[in-house]
């Protein structure tokens, strides 16, 4: 056994099933060891695609996804994926190669200090220099990647170390210990319950950190048994069914949206799973509403977030005990009910509009009509993300995958591909802007090669729409953000996948249904009218009046 085979054994011990990546010369010993393993290699067309797929695997399973790249440019191409996993709290392990470190005849060719490059983007980064330490190093990397707060880790395996023989006395695997998270102090849970009962208008906020298996069920019970109203951050969508009569919706903007009428009325917010990487769903003010912070770790305090009480420990345990302590809330919640009724009317506006190009409200409504309760939409990053966050109710956890942490363009397609690979019997859709798709469109070939069932929706407006929207909001002239596109239908067909163009708004939903029924990979080119961005999300909100 050499070091590469030992590393593969250590990965098998961690339960690794698949590795995504683009190998290089420095990975060939590792690649040979992988060939003899049961671990599947998924070859992607760019290292960034491999990292996005690995991070999505971690996001959905809770187990670290693993991706592979060579040295130099291969490793640098993982940087965006590392930041995506680290900010999004998705467990991921990156393995990169390196030139020989004991003797090399290639000088500084392709060499950058990858370990130091990864340090600010990961929880742990190490170069492997001692073969006997591989099992313990891998165990530590996986432990740190999975434990709260999850994130990215990195291991570098130099070419000469990769082929070194393993001493027969080296233990090939380490036992994996399963630790239970510490629980919050009883007095804090009781104090939180007292604050909730004493508040006139308590409101529950569900953030990204609440999207964990046990936490989801505990939160559902809290909502059902207390009768409290709740809202989500963008990455908290679906933790509790958004068709619930107590759901006010998603805070897609930080302030001045219709949902903020309810938030402003609240005198207490129970903030469960708050993560500062997301844009604030509301701004705290001194002397304003009180906030209870419920999370695995204490609050990172800044000028818009300074909770009066922190309940730190296992969230599921905290919320389960709080449910018992609080009991049924017998409060006048008519103000929240009024906001919900008004919001429901507002969010249905233009849902049946027939104008073409399609308006965002009709687009979102048609996607919701076609997608079943467990169908998954994976959004790239653009202004359409705000429309889906506001207008698309998520009925189950992880059925709306969006990134409100790094918010990287190019992630939508690889993320949707991994969902489709993990759940081949579910309807899965990548929703991308024309700008975002072109950053990783080469992965369409990977999707075809993997035999995925996937619909890729391209929202075509010939510009970077999110930045144009911001440009308008800041009072600047429309300048510098428009571009040309390829013929997306021909582009798709050149890969051997279905290519379709929508020419009438009423044709979109039937076409979407047709693509899902047919199976395989399909791309739909849909022209979109983004004038609603300015009318609804800027002009209308400037004159919003809260009538509660």
Summarised one tens digit per residue, pLDDT across range 138-155 is 999 999 999 999 999 999
**547 falls within a domain:** no
* Whether residue 515 sits in one domain with residue 373: yes
pLDDT of residue 300: 86
d(CA 450, CA 69): 20
pLDDT (0 to 100) of residue 102: 82
Look up the CATH number of the domain holding residue 220.
3.40.50.1220
CA dihedral for 461, 462, 467, 468, sign (positive or negative): negative
- The answer to whether residue 544 sits within a structural domain is no
The stretch 219-232 carries a mean pLDDT of 96
Inside any domain, residue 472: yes
127/30 same-domain check: yes
Q: How far apart are CA 422 and CA 401, in angstroms?
A: 14
- Provide the residue count of the chain: 548
What pLDDT is stored for residue 169 in this prediction?
A: 83
pLDDT tens across 498-509, in order? 999 999 999 999
Q: Is residue 172 part of a domain?
A: no
Q: What is the pLDDT of residue 106?
A: 67
* pLDDT attached to residue 461: 95
Contact criterion met (CB below 8 Å) for 318 and 219: no
Q: Residue 434 falls within a domain, yes or no? A: yes
Residue entry with tokens 């693509």: 515
CA dist 301 → 87, 119, 271, 440, 497 (Å): 17, 24, 14, 37, 49
d(CA 303, CA 207): 19
Which whole number is the average pLDDT over 203-217? 93
Instruction: Express each pLDDT in 102-124 by its tens digit.
Output: 877 666 777 899 999 999 999 99
**Residue 348 pLDDT exceeds 80:** yes
Distance in angstroms between the alpha carbons of the first and the last residue of the chain: 71
- Average pLDDT for residues 179-201, to the nearest whole number? 93
253 and 198: one domain? Answer: yes
Mapped onto helix, strand or coil, the DSSP state of residue 257 is coil
Q: Which domain holds residue 509?
A: 349-539
Query: Is the residue at 548 inside a domain?
Result: no
Domain's final residue, options 130, 163, 196: 163
Q: What percentage of the chain carries pLDDT values higher than 70?
A: 99
Residue 73 · residue 97 · CB < 8 Å: no
**Vertex 547, ends 306 and 536: CA angle to 5°?**
80
Report CA-CA distances (Å) from 123 to 114, 149, 288, 396, 405.
14, 9, 36, 30, 16
**What pLDDT digit, counting tens, does each position of 70-89 carry?**
999 999 999 999 999 999 99
**Do 404 and 260 reside in the same domain of the chain?**
no
Q: Do 405 and 258 share a structural domain? A: no
Helix then strand then coil, in percent of the chain rounded to 5, is 40, 20, 40
Identify whether residues 219 and 288 lie together within a single domain: yes
Place of tokens 């698309």: 392
Domain boundary, last residue among 342, 372, 403: 342
Domain membership flag for residue 175: no
Six-digit token string for 160:
């000469």
The answer to whether residue 175 scores a pLDDT higher than 80 is no
Of the residues 342, 359, 376, which one is the last residue of a structural domain?
Answer: 342
Tally Cβ neighbours within 10 Å of residue 368: 18
- The pTM (predicted TM-score) of the whole model is 0.95
pLDDT score, position 173: 76
For residues 361 and 331, state if they share a domain. Answer: no
β-pair type (92-98, 124-127): unpaired
Average pLDDT, rounded, for the chain:
94
Specify whether 330 is located in the same domain as 354.
no
Say yes or no: 328 and 372 in one domain. no
Same domain, 431 and 509: yes
> pLDDT tens, 423-476?
999 999 999 999 999 999 999 999 999 999 999 999 999 999 999 999 998 999
398 and 421 housed in the same domain: yes
Question: Looking at residue 114, which CATH number applies to its domain?
Answer: 3.40.50.970
pLDDT tens-digit readout, 315-343: 999 999 999 999 999 999 999 999 999 99
On whether both 212 and 291 belong to a single domain, the answer is yes
Asked whether residue 179 is domain-assigned, the answer is: no
- What is the model's pLDDT at position 107? 64
Q: How many domains does the chain have?
A: 3
């Amino acid at each position: 056994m050499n070091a590469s085979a030992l590393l593969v054994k250590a990965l098998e011990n961690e339960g690794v099933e698949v590795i995504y990546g683009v190998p290089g010369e420095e990975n060939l010993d590792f690649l040979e060891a992988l060939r003899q393993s049961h671990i599947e290699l998924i070859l992607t067309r760019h290292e960034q695609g491999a990292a996005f797929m690995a991070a999505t695997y971690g996001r959905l399973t809770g187990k670290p996804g693993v991706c592979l790249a060579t040295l130099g440019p291969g490793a640098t191409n993982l940087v965006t994926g590392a930041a995506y996993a680290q900010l999004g709290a998705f467990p991921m392990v990156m393995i990169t190669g390196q030139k020989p470190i004991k003797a090399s005849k290639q000088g500084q060719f392709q060499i950058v200090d990858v370990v130091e490059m990864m340090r600010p983007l990961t929880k742990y980064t190490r170069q492997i220099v001692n073969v006997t330490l591989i099992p313990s190093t891998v165990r530590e990397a996986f432990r740190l990647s999975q434990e709260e707060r999850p994130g990215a880790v990195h291991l570098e395996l130099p070419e000469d170390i990769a082929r070194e023989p393993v001493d027969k006395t080296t233990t090939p695997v380490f036992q994996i210990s399963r630790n239970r998270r510490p629980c919050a102090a009883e007095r804090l849970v009781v104090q939180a319950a007292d604050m909730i009962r004493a508040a006139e208008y308590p409101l529950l906020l569900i953030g990204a950190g609440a999207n964990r298996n046990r936490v989801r069920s505990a939160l559902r019970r809290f909502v059902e048994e207390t009768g409290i109203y709740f809202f989500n951050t963008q990455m908290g969508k679906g933790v509790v069914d958004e068709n619930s009569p107590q759901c006010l919706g998603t805070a897609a903007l930080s302030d001045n949206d219709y949902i903020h009428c309810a938030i402003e009325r609240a005198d207490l917010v129970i903030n469960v799973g708050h993560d500062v990487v997301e844009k604030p769903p509301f701004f705290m003010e001194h002397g304003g509403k009180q906030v209870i912070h419920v999370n695995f770790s204490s609050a990172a305090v800044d000028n818009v977030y300074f909770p009066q009480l922190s309940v730190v420990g296992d969230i599921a345990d905290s919320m389960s005990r709080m449910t018992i302590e609080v009991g049924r809330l017998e409060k006048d919640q008519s103000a929240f009910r009024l906001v919900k009724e008004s919001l429901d009317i507002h969010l249905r506006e233009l849902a049946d509009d027939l104008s073409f190009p399609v308006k965002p409200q009709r687009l979102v409504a048609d996607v919701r009509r076609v997608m079943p309760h467990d169908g998954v939409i994976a959004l790239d990053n653009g202004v359409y993300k705000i429309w889906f966050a506001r207008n698309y109710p998520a009925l189950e956890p992880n059925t709306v995958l969006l990134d409100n942490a790094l918010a990287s363009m190019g992630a939508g397609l690889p993320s949707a591909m991994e969902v489709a690979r993990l759940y081949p019997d579910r309807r899965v859709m990548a929703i991308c802007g024309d700008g975002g798709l072109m950053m990783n469109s080469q992965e369409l070939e990977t999707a075809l090669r993997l035999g995925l069932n996937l619909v890729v929706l391209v929202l075509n407006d010939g510009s970077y729409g999110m930045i144009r929207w911001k440009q308008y909001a800041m009072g600047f002239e429309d300048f510098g953000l428009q571009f040309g596109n390829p013929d997306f239908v021909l582009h798709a067909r050149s890969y051997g996948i279905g290519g379709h163009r929508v020419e009438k708004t009423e044709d979109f939903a039937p076409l979407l249904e047709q693509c899902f029924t047919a199976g395989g990979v399909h791309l739909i080119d849909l022209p979109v009218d983004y004038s609603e961005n300015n009318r609804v999300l800027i002009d209308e909100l400037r004159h919003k009046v809260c009538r509660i």
